[in-house]
Amino acid sequence: MMEQNMEPTCPIPMQQYPHILLAHGGGGKLSHQLLEQIVIPTFNNATLNVRHDAASLVIKGQSLAFTTDSYVVHPLFFPGGDIGSLAVNGTVNDLAMVGARPLYLSVALILEEGLPIETLWRVVQSMQWAAQNAKVQIVTGDTKVVDRGRGDGIFINTTGVGIIEHTQTIAPQQVQPGDVIIVNGDLGRHGMAIMAVREGLEFETTIESDSAPLADLVLQLLAADIEIHCLRDLTRGGLASALNEIAQVAGVDIAIAESQIPVQEDVQGACEILGLDPLYVANEGRFVTFVPSKDAERTLEIMRSHNSLSLTCQPCIIGFVKRTGSGLVTMQSRIGPQRIVDMLSGEQLPRIC
Judged by CB under 8 A, the chain residues 163 through 222 that form the site for its own copies are 163
Q: Is 257 in the site for its own copies (CB under 8 A)?
A: no
Q: Which is nearer to its own copies, 109 or 331 (CB)?
A: 109
Looking at residues 12 to 41 of the shown chain, list those that interact with its own copies (rule: CB under 8 A). Answer: 12, 14, 17-26, 31, 34-35, 38-39
Question: What mask, x for binding its own copies by CB under 8 A, covers residues 333 to 352?
Answer: -----------------xx-
Q: Is 68 in the site for its own copies (CB under 8 A)?
A: yes
Instruction: Measure the CA–CA gap between 277 and 72, rounded to whole angstroms.
Output: 22
How many other C-beta atoms can be found within 10 angstroms of the C-beta atom of residue 330? 16
The β-bridge partners of 181 are: 290, 319
What is the residue type of 258? E
Q: Which is nearer to its own copies, 75 or 251 (CB)?
A: 75
Contacts of 202 (CB under 8 A, 6+ apart): none
The closest of 244, 109, 231 to 166, measured between CA atoms, is 231
Among 36, 75, 125, 225, binds its own copies (CB under 8 A): 125
Q: What's the closest the beta carbon of residue 183 comes to its own copies, in angstroms?
A: 23
Among 118, 167, 309, 334, binds its own copies (CB under 8 A): 118
Asked if 122 contacts 76 with a C-beta cutoff of 8 angstroms, the reply is no
Q: Is 89 in the site for its own copies (CB under 8 A)?
A: no
Range in contact with its own copies (rule: CB under 8 A) among 136-144, 239-247, 271-279, 286-294: 136-144
Instruction: Measure the CA–CA gap between 102 and 129, rounded to whole angstroms.
Output: 15
Among 15, 92, 100, 107, binds its own copies (CB under 8 A): 107
Asked if 62 contacts 70 with a C-beta cutoff of 8 angstroms, the reply is no
Q: Which is nearer to its own copies, 115 or 226 (CB)?
A: 115
Strand ordering across the sheet containing 101-112: 55-59, 62-71, 154-163, 101-112, 137-146
Q: Is 311 in the site for its own copies (CB under 8 A)?
A: no
Q: What's the closest the beta carbon of residue 290 comes to its own copies, in angstroms?
A: 21
Angle between helices 215-223 and 83-96 (to 10 degrees): 20
Among 28, 29, 67, 189, binds its own copies (CB under 8 A): 67
The closest of 232, 178, 194 to 77, measured between CA atoms, is 194
Among 111, 192, 291, 311, binds its own copies (CB under 8 A): 111
Among 1, 309, 335, 340, binds its own copies (CB under 8 A): 1
Among 87, 97, 100, 127, binds its own copies (CB under 8 A): 127
The closest of 116, 113, 135, 121 to 84, measured between CA atoms, is 121
Q: What's the closest the beta carbon of residue 14 comes to its own copies, in angstroms?
A: 7
Q: Is 150 in the site for its own copies (CB under 8 A)?
A: yes
In order of 188, 192, 347, the CA distances from 259 in angstroms are 15, 20, 26
Among 36, 75, 121, 178, binds its own copies (CB under 8 A): 121
